Chain A
Amino acid sequence: SQQGEEDPQALSIQEGENATMNCSYKTSINNLQWYRQNSGRGLVHLILIRSNEREKHSGRLRVTLDTSKKSSSLLITASRAADTASYFCATDIYNQGGKLIFGQGTELSVKP
Chain B
Amino acid sequence: DTEVTQTPKHLVMGMTNKKSLKCEQHMGHRAMYWYKQKAKKPPELMFVYSYEKLSINESVPSRFSPECPNSSLLNLHLHALQPEDSALYLCASSQDLASLRNTIYFGEGSWLTVV
Contact = CB atoms under 8 A, between A and B. Distances in A.
- Does B bind A? yes
B90 A42 contact: yes
A80 B36 CA distance: 29
A35 B106 CA distance: 10
Contact of A99 (B56, B105, B106): B56
Interface residues of B, number: 32
Contacts, number: 71
Given A42-B109, A97-B55, A105-B42, A33 B104 contact: yes
Contact of A98 (B43, B55, B100, B103): B55
B20 interface: no
A77 interface: no
Interface stretch (A11-19, A43-51, A61-69): A43-51
Contact of B56 (A4, A98, A102): A98
Interface of A: 2, 4, 30-31, 33, 35, 40-45, 48, 50-52, 88, 90, 92, 96-105
